[in-house]
Amino acid sequence: MKTHLYFSVTPEALISSNLPPEKFGSYLAVGTQKRSRGQAVFFELDSDLVGDIISKDYIEKNCVPRPDGTPKRTLYLSIYRVLERVPLEALKSLYLTTDDGKVLKLDQSDFEYQKRESLYLYQELCPVTPRIASTLNPVDFVNFVCDSKNNISVPKLFCVQLDLGELANDPIAGTANDLPYSNIFHLRDCLAGLLQNSNKVTKTVVRFFNGDIQYRTCKNGFFIGDGEKCLFYPFPSKEELDDKYHSWWRSALIMGF
């Protein structure tokens, strides 16, 4: 049985498993023995490129099928400062799992600007989780947050760009009918503040993210970088999701309480 290596982003963990990505995601989301639910976002890693952050012997010895022949679902290897230690080169595909265990695979791609906007909104997912409004485009934002010359920085950042609709260019008067963010007035204030103060490039909108990602608000895609290099995982358009990944998209649109 093949052994896979995964980097779970929410929460941060390095996990070895006999399950292939789709089954692994489903397992993380809904489990097996009892009914549970919860999103999961994880990368598959190339074990040959992760360097010495794992012990291959330990994995070979412990990540083995159980006596009844069923696969070993999870072997936790690390739960602390994982992103910091995982080389970007080792990252393979990104997987987004819905509450009910449907998994969508996203592959790396080059990031091309479709249209430059005045304002952006990012949800940082790892290693910290504030929601940040910014005047920086995604790549510049990741580089900015990972820039050690700044007073506050992180060695690596994984984040997703969120849709701002008309607020991206007009935070005061733009309509926000289809933006599901809580306290939309505060978001408008933050965005307007950025436009008024050209010296400020980021503004914290929400200090700590404690909910699920609303996949329908993802714009462009997911970004992960270390200040020098930034990888991009494009998120399909709504039309493409509805046509090609309908089953996943339907589940992604359901938000429980």
Residue 184 makes contact with other proteins by CB under 8 A: yes
Kindly state whether residue 152 participates in binding other proteins, applying the rule CB under 8 A. no
User: Which of residues 1, 79, 172, 255 is near other proteins by CB under 8 A?
Assistant: 255
Scanning 7-15, 34-42, 60-68, 137-145 for contacts with other proteins by CB under 8 A, the matching segment is 34-42
Nearer to other proteins, 9 or 213 (CB): 213
Q: CB of 8 within 8 A of CB of 42? A: yes
247 is written with which tokens? 């089953």
Among 23, 72, 73, 229, binds other proteins (CB under 8 A): 23
- The one segment of 95-103, 114-122, 197-205, 221-229 that binds other proteins by CB under 8 A: 95-103
Query: For other proteins, what does the binding mask look like between residues 98 and 117, x meaning CB under 8 A?
Result: xxxx----------------
Residues 43-62 that bind other proteins (CB under 8 A): none
If one counts every other C-beta atom within 10 angstroms of the C-beta of residue 79, the result is 12
Q: Is 35 in the site for other proteins (CB under 8 A)?
A: yes
Distance CA 53, CA 79 (A): 12
Choose one: 58-66, 122-130, 180-188, 193-201; the region binding other proteins (CB under 8 A).
Answer: 180-188
Residue with smaller CB distance to other proteins, 79 or 184: 184
Interatomic CA distance for residues 152 and 190, integer angstroms: 20
Environment class of 159 (CB within 10 Å of its CB; exposed 0-12, middle 13-18, buried 19+): buried
Dump the DSSP string for 204-237.
EEES---S---GGGEEEEEEEE-SS-EEEEEPPP
DSSP states along 83-147: HHHS-GGGEEEEEEE-TTS-EEEE--B----S---S-EEEEEEES---EEEESS-HHHHHHHHT-
The least distance separating other proteins from the CB of residue 114, rounded to whole angstroms, comes to 21
64 near 73, Cβ under 8 Å? no
Cα–Cα dist 85/180, whole Å: 34
Q: At closest approach, how far in Å is the CB of 241 from other proteins?
A: 10
Site of interaction with other proteins (CB under 8 A): 23, 26, 30, 32, 34-35, 37, 98-101, 176-182, 184, 214, 216-217, 242-243, 246-247, 250-251, 253-257
